[in-house]
Structures are given as structure tokens and as C-alpha cells.
A and B are shown apart, each in its own frame.
Chain A
Amino acid sequence: MKYDFKNNVLTVYLSGEIDHHGARKIREETDSLIQQNKPVLLNMDFSDVGFSDSSGIGLIMGRYRLMSLYGGKTKVINIPERLRYVMNLSGLSSLHITDK
């Protein structure tokens, strides 16, 4: 997974297809980066994600919770439109973690 860390901001660049099978590896890698670097802001960039089911939402919410434990914020960049639609529908958009 590509990432960069500067000025206390961690950005992870997700790619490919995100489902239950693939989410575990992304979760483990992202969490270890968060624990090592203790960023004030985590950006999750979905620009190169071609497909995501609700496992993508689980991934976002799990990282949001971990970042909150450290007092950090989470932002999602270019969330796939189906995920945004369902997050709006279920009230998760009130957390203001998506960019649109």
C-alpha cells in the first residue's frame, strides 16, 4: 500500500477492489502506520479504488474510531459513489469524514 507521512498527516492511497477478503490487509497496514506515527490527521484516498462493497465503510469507520482514540481526525478522499450514497442514507455522513 502506498502512503506518505508529512507534517503529522498520514495519507494512505487505497487501490484495486475493496471487499471483506482484501480489507484485512489494508486494515493491518493502516493501523500499524497510525500506531507508529500518531498522525493528527488520517487521509484515506480512494481515488484508485475500482470497486468497493460495504467492507470499505467498515474500513473507514474502524480507522475513524482508532484515530479518535488518539484525538486525531479522519478524512476520506474520493469515496466511491455507492459508498457515499449508503453513508448518507444511514446517517454516517453526519460524521463529516467524506470530502463531498
Chain B
Amino acid sequence: MNSQNEMSLTFESRSSGESFARSAVASFITYLDPTVSEINDIKTAVSEAVTNCVVHAYRDTIGKIYLNVKIFDQNMVEIKIRDKGCGMENIKQAMEPLYTTAPEDERSGLGFTLMQSFTDSVKVRSKIGKGTTVILKKRLSPRV
């Protein structure tokens, strides 16, 4: 399926990139006239995925985060967040509510739970030592 519109950004895994990334995605989709609640759902999910790159994937180092947003027919928004960081061994376990490998950092283990609660689908691919890709999809309600 061809996308109607697309944007990509590459930025370093500094914590200041968290607000930059969620605002950039929110600005990009503004022309689709999303509701305030849809914008906040998407900002929350993007913030979680990008924070995971900063906190987990590139823990103690700085690497690149690759963000790609595509718009498909019927206001379907697809957001890809990719890193070339440490990867994870067990994706299913990582996605369980309250599971975290960074409790000392006051991570709550609810990042994936938030992504799943506020988008239509969350797909994760990961390979130890290679990195992780998170794909978020959300269909915006039809506008009249």
C-alpha cells in the first residue's frame, strides 16, 4: 500500500529529544485535523518509544534514533521508531505491564502498556546487539 505522505527524522539519543520527537509528530499530523485526545494518545506513545531508545537501547552511550511517519488512506498513521542499540532478548516479557530492567531510574515498566492502550497496534522487532524497531499504528476518526 502506498503512503500519501511521509516524513523522517534522525536525531541523537539525548533526553531532550523526547519532547522534540513527540512535538514533531504532532505537528506533522496536524493537517489531518486530529482531535486533542488523538494527538495526546500519539504524543504519549511516541514519547514512550523514544524514551526507551534513550534509557534502554543506548544506556550510557549516545546513538541515533530514526523516526519515520507515514500517512495512509483513511487517516491511518504509522509511526516507526528505530534504534541500533542493545536490543532485547524477550520481547513478550518486555511488554508485560510493570516489567522493567531499570527500576533504579524510576522507570515504571508501563511504557509498552501505554503504547498499547493508546494506539491500535504496537509491533516490536528486536535483535540483541543490533537494535529495536517499534511500529505504532493508529487510525484517526473520520472528520466531517
Interface residues of A (CB under 8 A from B): 17, 19-21, 23, 27, 51, 53-55, 57-59, 61-62, 82, 85-86, 89-90
Contacts and interface: CB of A to CB of B under 8 A. Distances in A.
Contacts of B105: 58
B98 A90 contact: yes
B40 A82 contact: yes
Contacts of A89: 97, 113, 117
Number of chain B interface residues as a range: 20 to 34
Interface of B: 15-16, 18-19, 22, 40-41, 43-44, 47-48, 51, 54-55, 97-98, 105-108, 110-111, 113-114, 117-118
A17 B43 CA distance: 11
User: Looking at chain B's contact residues, is the secondary structure mostly helix, strand, loop, or mixed?
Assistant: helix
A53 B98 contact: no
Contact of A53 (B15, B16, B44, B54): B44
A20 B40 CA distance: 17
